[in-house]
Structure 1
């Protein structure tokens, strides 16, 4: 007997392709519905009055029709009862039955796509927020990040108003083909929500060319091995802070103390690593990376990179955000694309000399000027760059990087 013909199975479409197709189809059906009765989508108030529907419904359907991005369809989509009310109102004013049926069919196709890929419209919004943050309404995106901040704060029992960090990079005086790097890091408005101890307020880990540096506190009155606090810039009732070393990493950990706003404090750490890394790269794709570990729930994070004018850096540093939830990937982090998190932010130039005011932390500029002075330089010799993140994810590594120049 001859073999039966093979059964042709239609492959399931990829999520984004299916979403774009169904969302565009729904927008087209609604556009045709309005056009069939000469309704003007640029005048939602007129649509509301003419068809006897409430202004919110009219505004949503008009925004869906006029939107240039299919992601907006999700933000303004009516529920099932709303679609029925809308279509019935338009049919009463003369919309052809075939056009009305096309709207219902487009909504059904869209909802089928949602059920298959996301389970619910809320799940669809979550997927789009994760996959396409640059196309999601910024207010909605920030709201999802704020919810994560609140949840992480409740789980971990700590939070901070501002997580800050800066790295200051300049040529080494004795070895001009290598750089000194000063690190300033800390929290403004750190508070406990329950009696947490042992929380890591900062940590340092050296990447680069394999040299384990000798950390030198930025406070000249401290000895190597002391907790590198800059006490003159700390405020509030600062608790005991201890240092713990584990391999190449040094952790600065929180001691016992009270909870709530009355016990909130600002804490600043600073250290200097001399002759830390080479100025020039060995290969054409060598990069210099500067990072700030973000492992405390924070309302705002800003990370600054100050580069001395004598360094052969010709480009604006680039930004990437590395996920640390699965462990820290091997450097260079900028090339670990599978570990990078999507985050829509820009690198801001702060000029030369840099303007270093930081919202939420008065006196931040004085801290950085102190670091520059400790390195033997004036602040006016540096140009600076900043990234700012609202409700940054934890745990993550905020990274600024640039290509290393080749030795001529």
Structure 2
């Protein structure tokens, strides 16, 4: 009796075979299969090509992993570099054979790549969970917009961690830059005021941390309301300030409703000489985008200097702000299936269509701080219709004191 091939079984087998072959090749060449920049640094490969290989190795979802498999040209470049590095011919042949099984899988079960995508995505647990969550969050977005009386197209935050002024590496202290933006904010009810940001730093325990006063990234702005004037809509939005209990709250003033009053506001601030070593009070460094307005898209970017690349990538969570537990984040964790995106070296700045003039904002930070883009690596978390009140959080372990 002839055995009928089973697509799901063969898909998993092919992914495991390719994953094992690529991992063995990297290890034989003295490369780290968990480091997206390993091939780029040692072999001078395109960063995107190196990133794809590591994604194939790391991702457990067979369909999603194979989506990252380089084509014949990319694999040819990798195998040529591996041969030049002295990798055994048997391992090179193993990679070729494993890649060939992917072509055989498509031919046997699908006929072409388009049909493979239809069949594979139907099996992908990641895609299913993402789609289910997004559909539920979209309904929440529509309801929250109606109840709260406001919405935004994009809720965006980017963080930069670099050497203090005059230094070339990070050692004990850092300078931080934060850009916070609401793009396409609309009031849906009259006389509506809205909190744009709250300035407060905390220790791991949740206790308030005393820090120096921030500087405005835009020299024309005050540190209290550090608007990036060139990136805000005209006329510049008006804000009210309230300071209490060591926390400064900036609120958007009431204004016209609907499209007539649609606006974009962008803040940019600098925090100088922030401590960046592990201590009894602090083990982690956290970077957040607070989700406090119904939004179609939320994005948080983190760019860190290459001198701390060994503690990357950051971990990512979605945390409830209804009951945020600083010491036990698992107690306030919400479901998050959206993946961390590795942006690599941001030279040029990553294409970000959701945020107008993103590259200009990025260049402004680099110029103002006297940093070089090629000295940084970037990470992004992007979520459609995020829940609220919540926070998208990136965190990493602080280094030990020198």
Using the size of structure 1 for normalisation, the TM-score is 0.62
Provide the residue aligned with 1:291 in structure 2: 288
| d(CA) in 2 for partners of 1:345, 1:172 | 33
1:193 shift after superposition: 0.7
Cα 1:302–1:135, aligned 2, differ >3 Å: closer, same or farther? closer
| d(CA) in 1 for partners of 2:180, 2:329 | 24
CA RMSD of aligned residues (A): 2.6
Provide the residue aligned with 1:180 in structure 2: 175
1:125-204 mapped onto 2 (5 Å cutoff): 136-173=128-165, 176-204=171-199
1:275-314 mapped onto 2 (5 Å cutoff): 275-278=273-276, 280-282=277-279, 286-311=283-308, 313-314=310-311
Kept after mapping to 1: 8 A contact 2:318/2:334:
yes
| d(CA) in 1 for partners of 2:203, 2:366 | 21
Which digits, 9 at most, give the CA deviation of each residue in 1:207-265, with x for residues without a partner?
Answer: 2483322111111123433x110011112544311222232322221112111113211
Cα 1:220–1:236, aligned 2, differ >3 Å: closer, same or farther? closer
Secondary structure of the 2:219 match is coil
Provide the residue aligned with 1:219 in structure 2: 218
Kept after mapping to 2: 8 A contact 1:290/1:399:
yes
Q: Where does structure 2 lack aligned partners over 5 or more consecutive residues?
A: 1-6, 8-124
Kept after mapping to 2: 8 A contact 1:167/1:306:
yes
Cα 1:369–1:181, aligned 2, differ >3 Å: closer, same or farther? same
| d(CA) in 1 for partners of 2:130, 2:176 | 35
| d(CA) in 1 for partners of 2:281, 2:401 | 10
Q: Where does structure 1 lack aligned partners over 5 or more consecutive residues?
A: 1-41, 43-132
1:292 shift after superposition: 1.5
1:10-49 mapped onto 2 (5 Å cutoff): none
Secondary structure of the 1:235 match is coil
Which digits, 9 at most, give the CA deviation of each residue in 1:363-408, with x for residues without a partner?
Answer: 0121122123222213232111000011111111111011122235
Which digits, 9 at most, give the CA deviation of each residue in 1:103-132, with x for residues without a partner?
Answer: xxxxxxxxxxxxxxxxxxxxxxxxxxxxxx
Provide the residue aligned with 1:344 in structure 2: 337
Q: How many residues are aligned here?
A: 272
Secondary structure of the 1:399 match is strand
1:277 shift after superposition: 2.1
Kept after mapping to 2: 8 A contact 1:166/1:184:
yes
Kept after mapping to 1: 8 A contact 2:151/2:187:
yes
| d(CA) in 2 for partners of 1:407, 1:312 | 16
Provide the residue aligned with 1:375 in structure 2: 369
| d(CA) in 2 for partners of 1:139, 1:347 | 17
| d(CA) in 2 for partners of 1:163, 1:396 | 12
Kept after mapping to 1: 8 A contact 2:172/2:401:
no
Q: Which of structures 1 and 2 has the bigger CA Rg?
A: 1
Cα 1:275–1:284, aligned 2, differ >3 Å: closer, same or farther? closer
| d(CA) in 2 for partners of 1:208, 1:170 | 20
| d(CA) in 2 for partners of 1:385, 1:307 | 9
| d(CA) in 2 for partners of 1:135, 1:342 | 14
1:316 shift after superposition: 0.6
Which digits, 9 at most, give the CA deviation of each residue in 1:41-91, with x for residues without a partner?
Answer: x9xxxxxxxxxxxxxxxxxxxxxxxxxxxxxxxxxxxxxxxxxxxxxxxxx
Secondary structure of the 1:310 match is helix
Cα 1:150–1:170, aligned 2, differ >3 Å: closer, same or farther? same
Cα 1:141–1:271, aligned 2, differ >3 Å: closer, same or farther? same
Secondary structure of the 1:179 match is strand
| d(CA) in 1 for partners of 2:345, 2:233 | 29
Secondary structure of the 1:343 match is coil
